Amino acid sequence: MGKWLVIGLLLLSTMGEAMAENHVRIVLDVSGSMRTNDSSRNAILATLLLHDLVSPNTDGGDSFAVLPFNKKWRWEDPGIPPVQSGSSIKATSGKRARFVKSIKALKYNAQCTYFYPGLKKALDELKTEKPSDYANQVIVLVTDGVPSNQCNSSGTHTLQEEKRLIIDELVPRFNKVGIALYVLAFGNKVVGNRIFFDEITKQLAINAPIKIDPDGKGLVSNMRTIFEQAFGFETKKPVTLGSKKPRTLNLNKGMDPYRTAVVAHVPLGHLSNINLKAPPTMKLNAKDPLCARESGGSYCVQWVQSPDKGRYRLSGVFKKSAKGRVTVLRPVELDLRIVPWNPKRKFPSLPAFTIDDRAMATRKFVLGASITTKHGGVAPDVNLEYRYSSLNPEGKIIWRKWRAPPPNRVDRNSAARIYPLPTTFPVNAREKGKTYDSRVEIVIRRGSAELLRRTDSQAHVMQVWPFLSLKPRPNPASTGNPLKANQEGCASFTFSLQSDFPQEKSFPITGDLKIPNNASGLLDKTRFSLDGIDLTTAPQPSDPAAATTESWSKGLDRTLAELAKPHRMCVTLGRPRQGAANKPIMVTTGFTLNQAPYDEYDVVRPLRFKIRMAKIGVRDRYGAMGLVGLLALLSLLLLYYARFRPVMSEDFRYRLWTDSEGSHLPPEANRLPPVSSLRRVLGISYRYDIKSVDGQPVARLRPTRDKQLFVLDMDAGTMIKPMEGNDTLQPKGHSWAIEAGRDYRIDTGERRWIFRTEYAS
């Protein structure tokens, strides 16, 4: 068998910072095999450490007892298991020394190893204690291995029968009160027998982790696990404690705990005491350390009440130089706030809400449980359960079963973990049509440790309103025959009403028309009305009549009786520009009852309104667009014709003669030839064709804004040069700028002319 094993079975209940009762039972294996498998007596040391950490206040209602194995157990008939007899070793407030002496005096001399008798008696003792609903009930089994199979050579095989008895008789008792199972195993031989314990623990409602420590060096780490899962503590990772250099510790950590434990453990060494010093100018608010020693090691525990902020210094007092480990235990103190469930992330199966104090009966409502530490820090992973109440026909409160939030739906908001709490409140079975208050109770656990409870007067109160539903019939409503431009079509409908409210109950209701994006052109300038009140536009605040004008967008007060009467939805088409003939268009009018909690639900189902349209003609489709286009074209033409176009003066003349020997200036100047009719009609800039006497085209003359400048458009390769002066003309392409009153030589390469412009006057 291995060295020793601890199995903790516990139920913890605490409220806020109040310290609950602690009822602890340790079933201690003192069989002869322990002399070999636990020669260092780590089982004894673990029992004492658990006692000093629990620090039972028996005067205040706590109890702590150790149940050693009987020395002469025998199990000859499998159907008749042995019974735990003898007195328990009980702890008493103020008498720790006597308790420690009794435990250390125990010898490993029992003949057989059986778990069932001690576990059964521990359960029976806890039952007789009559613990409160919030008490911590802990059962710890300390052993070096699995139960005996053939003890004292009796020939009776009892191992499987004992396992069956534990599973069939004891496990249901654990599960009934929600007790967890913790396994702390020392010794390598336990690993081979682990399946025995696994088959038991997997039957428990709360399956705690199994810890194996082959040599006792993990004593502090394993106690950390027990106190985190069983007593609701958070623990600091162990750090080294030596005999020379003090260790700096932060006991407050900004959490202001009401108490903190400092635990130092030295395996295979003698730690006789610890010396804890408060931060400068502060006073240590603590009793003397509690220490114990066995051959396998030693430990010291010191509880500090309301530790101050700052650095504490811890020194160990050793008989010989040694090293150990030290850790800090603080109770987890949580803060719980009920908030609207409106997460940043989307959870499709959970509708979002903006309120947390009112809900409608029979429809799903989700609350948010926002959990942080007491001072706003990030809370550890926890298990949350909740339930809510309703009224039966006699007016008595009935409760739903405890349930957990949906898995993988936790939202984060800064340091807070927000758990969704889906609820479906039943109607008021006592007074139909009336609201009632439902209490939502919440219990938060970590492992089996209860960290926070909001029940009874601390429960969250929800006001549950009667169920209400309005469904339009028929839905969709239809205009019937296809509609043409500017034609009106209407449809009648009623609301199917489900409610326990009286008919004269009134609600403010708003309507919101939604037109599909693909129908915006088809329903251009279309008007909608419901019961003769415009649905398309809201009255402007600047309108003097706005205050007295009824509007669906602003809201109308209507009784349930009025809503149940027939209603009339109408549409008047504008001039549709597009759309297929007879193809229906579906528009939707959404309604909201503007009173909590009904504005959080789709209490009034949307009305769908089907519009059928006649064939759209060319004139309807393009008429307006064509008219606009024509006007735009005419405007452009008018601007084009009205633009400035330079023209030649009536007295403008030119002379053109050949540049050759014997040529001379023509006696008379020539008038400009007429501009072509096509250019005049099209409004093109005027251009005059200049020809020689024999009719050969020479150039094309164009006027400019400056009456002294003109442009000659020439063929490629033609050069123009003034007859006088040394200036050189620079053409733009094939166009040359010339001045009036000067002579220019035109050279085409084949012929040359002299060209002059002048005014007759």
- Quickly list DSSP for 210-244: EEE-SSSTTHHHHHHHHHHHHH-EEEPPPEEEESS
Please check whether residue 589 is in contact with residue 609, taking contact to mean a CB–CB distance below 8 angstroms: yes
Architecture of domain 238-331: Sandwich (2.60)
Please check whether residue 190 is in contact with residue 107, taking contact to mean a CB–CB distance below 8 angstroms: no
- Quote the CA–CA distance of 280 and 284 in Å, as a whole number: 10
Q: Report DSSP state, residue 367.
A: E
Task: Work out the end-to-end distance of the chain between its first and last CA atoms, rounded to an integer number of angstroms.
Answer: 139
- Quote the CA–CA distance of 613 and 618 in Å, as a whole number: 15
The pLDDT assigned to 642 comes to 66
The pLDDT assigned to 539 comes to 62
- Quote the CA–CA distance of 191 and 196 in Å, as a whole number: 10
Assigned fold of 652-759: Tumour Suppressor Smad4 (2.60.200)
Please check whether residue 453 is in contact with residue 134, taking contact to mean a CB–CB distance below 8 angstroms: yes
The pLDDT assigned to 12 comes to 33
Q: What percent of the chain shows pLDDT beyond 90?
A: 41
Residue 213 to residues 210, 295, 627, Cα–Cα distance (Å): 10, 17, 94
Chunked mean pLDDT (size 10), the chain, 761 residues: 37 41 89 85 91 92 93 83 88 95 94 90 88 80 81 74 93 83 74 84 79 78 81 85 88 88 90 93 94 91 94 91 89 92 87 94 95 84 93 92 90 88 94 94 86 93 96 92 88 94 94 86 85 81 64 92 95 72 82 94 94 73 72 82 74 86 84 78 77 86 78 86 83 86 86 86 67
The pLDDT assigned to 339 comes to 95
Question: Which residues, including other chains, have CB under 8 Å from residue 264's CB and lie 6 or more apart?
Answer: 241, 271, 274, 299, 300, 301, 314, 316, 324, 325, 326
Assigned fold of 4-235: Rossmann fold (3.40.50)
The pLDDT assigned to 552 comes to 92
Return residue ranges of the chain for CATH 3.40.50.410.
Answer: 4-235
Please check whether residue 358 is in contact with residue 366, taking contact to mean a CB–CB distance below 8 angstroms: no
SS3 405: coil
Residue 111 to residues 31, 74, 129, Cα–Cα distance (Å): 6, 8, 30
- Quote the CA–CA distance of 434 and 440 in Å, as a whole number: 19
Q: What is the pTM of this model?
A: 0.71
The pLDDT assigned to 73 comes to 85
Q: Is 710 exposed, middle or buried (0-12, 13-18, 19+ CB in 10 A)?
A: buried
List phi, psi (to 5°) of 392: -90, 175
Return residue ranges of the chain for CATH 2.60.40.2410.
Answer: 469-611
Return residue ranges of the chain for CATH 2.60.200.
Answer: 652-759
Please check whether residue 760 is in contact with residue 741, taking contact to mean a CB–CB distance below 8 angstroms: no
Q: Where are the alpha helices (DSSP H) in 545-676?
A: 560-564, 618-642
The pLDDT assigned to 581 comes to 53
Please check whether residue 305 is in contact with residue 327, taking contact to mean a CB–CB distance below 8 angstroms: no
Q: Is 542 exposed, middle or buried (0-12, 13-18, 19+ CB in 10 A)?
A: exposed
CATH superfamily of 469-611: Uncharacterised protein PF12988, DUF3872 (2.60.40.2410)
Q: Please state, as a whole number, how many other Cβ atoms lie within 10 Å of the Cβ of residue 454.
A: 20
Please check whether residue 227 is in contact with residue 215, taking contact to mean a CB–CB distance below 8 angstroms: no
CA dihedral over 239, 241, 246, 251, signed as positive or negative: positive
The pLDDT assigned to 7 comes to 36
Q: Tell me the two tokens of residue 145.
A: 């291995």
Assigned fold of 334-466: Immunoglobulin-like (2.60.40)
The pLDDT assigned to 57 comes to 92
Q: Tell me the two tokens of residue 751.
A: 């012929």
Q: Tell me the two tokens of residue 757.
A: 């412009």
Match 């802990």 to its residue by tokens: 138
The pLDDT assigned to 291 comes to 95
- Quote the CA–CA distance of 201 and 174 in Å, as a whole number: 11
- Quote the CA–CA distance of 682 and 679 in Å, as a whole number: 5
Please check whether residue 387 is in contact with residue 462, taking contact to mean a CB–CB distance below 8 angstroms: no
Q: Are strands 63-68 and 22-28 parallel, antiparallel or unpaired?
A: parallel
The pLDDT assigned to 21 comes to 82
Please check whether residue 335 is in contact with residue 372, taking contact to mean a CB–CB distance below 8 angstroms: yes
